[in-house]
Amino acid sequence: MSKLPLFPSLVLALLVVPPASLLAQTPERFTVGGDRIAVYDLAGEISVVPGTGPDVVVEVTRAGADAGQLKVEVSPIRNVSTLRIMFPQDRIIYPQRNWSGQSDFRVRDDGTFGGSDGDRDSRRIQVRSSGSGLEAHANLRVLVPAGKRVSVNIGVGTLDAANVNGDISLEAASANISADHVRGSLSIDTGSGDVTVTAVDGDLSVDTGSGNVKISGANGSEITIDTGSGDVIGSDIKSAHVNVDTGSGNINLAGISTASLSLDTGSGDVEVGLTSDTDELSVETGSGNVTIAIPASFGSTIDLDTSSGEVDSEVSIQVTRRGRQHLSGKIGDGQGRMDIETGSGDVTLRAVR
């Protein structure tokens, strides 16, 4: 005579575990070999961290009530070894605390998105924070060996990189991006989201359609920052060339050492503290005050202009022309060149104290 379990419902619950729950708890590992690597994920959180061995390894954790419907594909696309998270439906629900609203994407049949050919062989996918649809996303951990060329792309979520060494590209449609202690070339691009960069050693490019940019510690031959709308705050930056352009937002830079500095904002104040001499310094703002703090060793010919505002200097200048809204002359040895122009706002030169 067979014995029945004392708690049959409990035994059944232990034996029957929903596949989505298992997927949400267990990372899957995928090896992506080759000289150039790309990763695509429409919704989730991605961390880029150091790896060992010859290849990039991506740990994928699928999550959400419909996580079991997500697929992972790895194959070459346009000569790039590419991992893609494949979303089978056209409406994705991603209910996360750090994001709300909706974003629309053109996703190609191979699971890639973005770039200049975004509409080729593509379908429209909408990611929403609530409503009906496929409730699924994937969290990724991308392990990058030193010296690799890797492009990581996310639609909605968060993207961060820390302690990696290589040619790194971080791109997002709507996500905050952070990079900490990255060596090598670093490119960051987000359509909407804040960017935070700390202790980067190498060329740096940051582009955001809408979002603030904060940089603390950067050392490279080229540093370029472009934001359609948002403030740019930087400190401890050393570079041969620094270029900052914002359509609308303040620019505040401290501890800047560069041979060439170009700053442009359509509307916003500009404040810069230099720690060394420059060969070229150009500042332009449509509306906003401009304040430049220069060291005692600074030398340059200067032209300061404001259409509506005042020009003032507390450093010694050999003046060749001076008016209420214009000042020309020479500081120190006059070897460099400084051009500052604001449509509406004051222009002030200060001595570094």
pLDDT digits (tens, 9 = 90+) for 37-65: 999 999 999 999 999 999 999 999 999 99
Instruction: Tell me what pLDDT residue 325 has.
Output: 82
What are the beta bridge partners of residue 86? 71
153, 105 Cβ separation under 8 angstroms: no
292, 315 Cβ separation under 8 angstroms: no
Instruction: Tell me what pLDDT residue 324 has.
Output: 79
Higher local confidence (pLDDT), 150 or 6: 150
- Helix %, strand %, coil % of the chain (to 5): 5, 60, 35
Nearest to 153 by CA among 5, 263, 235, 48: 48
Give the three-state DSSP class for 133.
coil
Q: 82-98: b or e for each residue (b if 16 or more CB lie within 10 Å)?
A: bbbbbbeeebbbbeeee
pTM summary value = 0.90
Measured in degrees and rounded to the nearest 5, phi and psi for residue 21 equal -65, -40
Give the span between the Cα atoms of 262 and 264, in whole angstroms.
7
Where do the DSSP E strands lie in 228-325? 232-246, 251-265, 270-274, 280-285, 290-294, 300-306, 311-313, 318-323
pLDDT digits (tens, 9 = 90+) for 214-241: 999 999 999 999 999 999 999 999 999 9
